[in-house]
A and B are shown apart, each in its own frame.
Chain A
Amino acid sequence: MTRTLDRPAASPLFRPISTGRRLRNRLATALVTAAFLLAVVPLLWVLYTVLRFGVKVVTSSAWWTHSLSGLLSFQAGGGVYHAIYGTLTQALVCAVFSIPIGLMVGIYLVEYGARSRLEKITTFMVDILTGVPSIVAALFVYALWITILGFPRSGFAVSLALVLLMVPVIVRTTEEMLRIVPNDLREASYALGVPKWKTIVKIVIPTALSGIVTGIMLALARVMGETAPLLVLVGYAPFINYNLFEGNMAALPLVMVSERNNPTPAGVDRMWGAALTLVLLITLFNLLATVVARRSAIKAK
């Protein structure tokens, strides 16, 4: 900058900056833009891969209505409804536990924490829980539920491990959404003689609800793709098992893992078909999240 000032003021009216600075600025712009494009490449590439290998598989109607029961590894055909059932029920059961816990922790942090020591520790522990690898969560459930309490491996054990992964996400969302509820509304409610808990339940939460629901949907989508807990906590079954508490049970990631070593065309098809199905499910939940967010955003206006 000083360099431009030192120049003779004679030449053009607006003193141009030096070529070096100009070039460096151009270079930075190019690099930064390239970095963004670089991130888009793998995303598109992955999606393209999954679509390319998976589309012809998932467009067969048997894919959605049959299991792989009785099929030999090289036999084409069959479907994954057993795995879709497994993935959805495990995620659902996980949600049933995670949502109340996550909500209450979020409420605690925002409405009752009062910057106490417990609040600080809890915030820290939620951060730590966010970073716990899924395999560690799975091992913990294995140690507690299976080794010590003596329960069998089951879809339910998977759900328990997923709870550990989902709770911190819900806590974060709830916390964020509750914090942006204007304090005016709480005060207005108190001033009407409404007790604090009712204010939270009837005023604060409904105001923050769309954001929280969106967060829950996104958390669900993430949990459905988790594979590590499945490997540790439940065996794969190529047939339908409705019982979440006993026996082997399929899930979409498990189909991929088990067909990965099946080099026949049937195996490759199943693997990519399951991958596309999972991506579709996750997309569906992401879309639902967007819809929820949009619908209530209009209502607030």
Chain B
Amino acid sequence: MSDHTGPQTDATADHRPATSATTAGALGGSPARQPPAERAQPPSPGKPVVRRGDRLFRAAAVSSGGLIVGIIAAIGLFLLLQAVPALRVDQVNFLTSRLWNTDSLTNLRFGILDLLLITVTVSLFALIIAMPVSLGIALFLTQYAPARLARPFAYVVDLLAAVPSIVFGLWGIFVLAPALYPVAAWLNTHLGWLFLFSRRAGAPSLQGGGNLFTAGIVLAVMILPIITAVSREVFERTPREQIEGALALGATRWEVIRTTVLPFGRAGYVSGSMLGLGRALGETIAIYIILSGTALSFSGSLFDGGATFASKIAQAAPEFNNPTLAGAYVSAGLVLFVLTFVVNAAARAAIAAGER
């Protein structure tokens, strides 16, 4: 594919051999249509002729590409620049402390352990719900849905991605959470002995539902479309011969999927899921709206409240009035940036590996 459409550059004339570099004086016959200016001052031999328009346009295109690289570098750099002064005066260990107290500038105590644990827990919970469902949707859309309906159905799933996260947040806390209450109560009563479903005094009420349980389910809905989209794309590319080969052996539809589509699409499915994880880790506003704050530190239970990196920053952001104070939150943002960077990079690497 890319062979075909990729580079069109005339710079390949770089390879022009020296043997063709005859001098202009040796030319006989009538002159070709050359601009007189270039006639008068021929460029140094070996240098390909590139028009000014081409040179300018190329420069603009290349520098835009460079700009993107620059932006990513700048994000890391400026976050670091602003984080360092705050980290210097942090009175507790930034990585291992569960405290987050930024009331007094002279006694900043902030650590990310709780934020990290909550962020990862809620994201993984969302991922565990979303992965099988997305797999089912992607298979349905590519292998089961009638050809005429596959596109509109896919569009419906994509619509989920078009709903703003704040609307998901409001729906989650005001509509979904009350509806989930019976489920949450049942889990708490019957499986409360397991740390995941225990609830301590001081945690958000089960009726209110301002906990990781609700947030995780909403997140799962939000990352469904991205996992589905990536998986769908790979599943669609399963070679026809393989599918027909399996069919000709008398395999059922499910057996065809198990023997051809799933092995072929595994890498895409995994990387799609990681992209979804990246999205979940960074989701801000839905979590900000759903999760109730709490004085307790995180116990690992889905019925805990608290804050993720993103929601913590969003809560405090309107009160940023001092660079050092903001720096505490920027530090948390930096960790989030690194976390999502790593997850996304791993996802892309998985895609690249799958394509090879």
Contacts and interface: CB of A to CB of B under 8 A. Distances in A.
A and B directly contacting (CB within 8 A): yes
Contacts of B5: 110, 178-179, 181, 183
A131 B65 contact: no
Given A148-B82, A256-B170, 17 more contacts: A1-B251, A17-B250, A34-B136, A36-B141, A50-B171, A105-B65, A108-B61, A122-B68, A124-B348, A128-B72, A129-B72, A131-B340, A138-B317, A139-B79, A139-B330, A167-B68, A232-B317
A182 B163 CA distance: 34
A112 B9 contact: yes
A227 to B, nearest CB: 4
Interface in A102-137: 104-105, 107-115, 118-119, 121-122, 124-137
A120 to B, nearest CB: 10
B170 A22 contact: no
A118 B10 CA distance: 18
B160 A132 contact: no
A32 interface: yes
Interface of A: 1, 4, 17, 21-22, 24-25, 27-29, 31-36, 38-40, 42-43, 45-46, 49-50, 101, 104-105, 107-115, 118-119, 121-122, 124-140, 142-144, 147-148, 164, 167-168, 171, 178-179, 181, 183, 186, 195-198, 200-201, 218, 221-222, 224-228, 231-232, 235, 253, 256-257, 260, 271-272, 275, 278-279, 282, 286
B175 A45 contact: yes
B345 A31 contact: no
Nearest to A204: B8
Contact of A260 (B278, B279, B289): B289
Contact of B64 (A108, A134, A256): A108
B72 A271 contact: no
A119 B66 CA distance: 9
Given A50-B167, A134-B284, A115 B6 contact: yes
Contacts of B329: 139
B114 interface: no
Interface stretch (B51-59, B92-100, B101-109, B236-244): B51-59
A39 B133 contact: yes
Interface string B90-134: 000000000000000000000000000000000000000000111
Nearest to B53: A197
Q: With a 10 A CB-CB cut-off, give which of B144, B171, B345 has the most chain A CB atoms.
A: B171
Nearest to B311: A135
Q: Is the interface of B mostly helix, strand, loop or mixed?
A: helix
B195 to A, nearest CB: 27
B46 interface: no
A167 B5 CA distance: 22
B282 A43 contact: no
A231 B317 contact: yes
A78 B251 CA distance: 64
Contacts of A226: 164
Interface string B282-323: 111100110000000000000000000110011001101001
A114 B9 contact: yes
Interface stretch (B16-24, B35-43, B151-159, B196-204): B151-159
B2 interface: yes
A181 B8 CA distance: 13
Contacts of A167: 68
Nearest to A180: B5
A228 to B, nearest CB: 4
Contact of B344 (A17, A127, A181): A127
Contacts of B79: 136, 139-140, 143
B323 A39 contact: no
A245 B285 CA distance: 24
Contacts of A119: 65
Contact of A147 (B54, B82, B166, B333): B82
Given A125-B69, A144-B74, A225 B166 contact: yes
A271 B173 CA distance: 13
B275 interface: yes
15 contacts: A1-B249, A1-B255, A21-B252, A39-B157, A114-B7, A115-B6, A128-B72, A131-B279, A136-B337, A139-B79, A143-B78, A167-B68, A227-B285, A228-B314, A278-B167
Given A110-B6, A128-B344, A227 B165 contact: yes
Nearest to A223: B164
